[in-house]
Amino acid sequence: MNETPMHETSTSETATRDTVARRTVLVATGATAATLALGAAAPGTPTAQTAGTTDTAPVAAAAVCTLTKEMTEGPYYLDGQYVRADITEGKTGFPLKLALTVVDDDTCATISNALVEIWHCDALGEYSGYVGNNGHNEPDSGTFLRGGVLTDSGGVARITTVYPGWYRGRCVHIHVKVHVGVTLTSDGSFTGGTELHTGQLFFDETVTAKVGALSPYSANTVTRTTLAQDSIYDEGGAASGLLTLTALGSSPSAGYSGTLTLGVER
């Protein structure tokens, strides 16, 4: 394992993070990226997906592909999870609407029918299948806050979950894998395929602090590790998985949308 349960700051994790050679990319989007790549875009030039946009996808002419490292899978992965758009299973927490776009790192073209799979802890820092590792006694379905969906024709995977909590030694994060060529099974899961990317999604500290001050997150008494203190997040911004978060209402309890474009080597 590259992460250690309850405290993911081992020397082996750091070494793994620094030596992984597998290439993945994250596409920088918006006017800044377009300017860096091509100079100022001409009027009418298609632009990449921006926060709050639900139906657009990145366009190669307006994107910069930047090489980045993969992140560790961690000890809490479980095979054969459900293919589903809503993974909450009734878990309490503030809504999180993810829109993750998958692109080819060489061309920046979007990839349809790629399975984007995520898993993360609940507000109290517990993972399904491992409940109790963060000191709480609660029902364990073995499947809550786990699952994924196939990307649509625009390369976008839309998943509904809740804002994650935290556990000892790690900042707030979500684990993610990207697979292609999977076979959907009759029980709602998947088999086979090729895994193209393993990474983690991270959250802005200002937003997390607001969320953490409110129930049910405030019931998590474990000291929260910040992004700057985390042993895995390298302060690389979006290139290291930092989501663009947009509030869905005037209060943190209304939830957030989270967007990111992941490039993978096919």
CA-based angle 109:235:28, to the nearest 5?
Answer: 20
Do 198 and 17 contact (CB within 8 A), yes or no? no
How sure is the predictor about 69, in pLDDT bands with cuts at 50, 70 and 90?
low
CATH number for the domain that contains residue 105:
2.60.130.10
Residue 5 lies in a domain: no
CA-based angle 172:80:114, to the nearest 5?
Answer: 75
Q: Check residue 238 and give its pLDDT.
A: 84
Q: Check residue 104 and give its pLDDT.
A: 87
Alpha-carbon radius of gyration of the chain: 18
Task: Report how far residue 211's alpha carbon sits from residue 218's, in angstroms, rounded to the nearest whole number.
Answer: 8
Q: Check residue 65 and give its pLDDT.
A: 59
Quick one: tokens of 233? 């997040």
Per-residue pLDDT tens digits for 111-166: 999 999 999 999 999 999 999 999 999 999 999 999 999 999 999 999 999 999 99
Structural domain count of the chain: 1
% of the chain residues with pLDDT over 70 = 74
Residue 183 lies in a domain: yes
Whether the pLDDT of residue 195 is over 60: the answer is yes
Whether the pLDDT of residue 60 is over 70: the answer is no
Residue 127 lies in a domain: yes
SS3 content of the chain, % helix, strand, coil (to 5): 15, 30, 60
Do 192 and 182 contact (CB within 8 A), yes or no? yes
Lowest mean pLDDT among 67-76, 78-87, 110-119: 67-76
- Average pLDDT value for residue range 184-189: 97
> How does the average pLDDT of the chain come out, rounded?
81
Residue 161 lies in a domain: yes
Residue whose C-alpha is closest to residue 61's, from 90, 86, 35? 35
Is pTM beyond 0.95? Reply is no
Task: Identify the residue with better confidence: 32 or 193.
Answer: 193
Residue 202 CA to its chain's centroid (Å): 7
Task: Give me the residues paired with residue 80 across strands.
Answer: none
Domain residue limits at 182? 11-264
Residue 1 lies in a domain: no
Per-residue pLDDT tens digits for 30-54: 333 322 222 333 333 333 333 344 4
Residue 119 lies in a domain: yes
Which DSSP state fits 226?
Answer: P
CA-based angle 109:49:254, to the nearest 5?
Answer: 135
Residue 6 lies in a domain: no
Residue 3 lies in a domain: no
CB atoms within 10 A of CB 221: 10
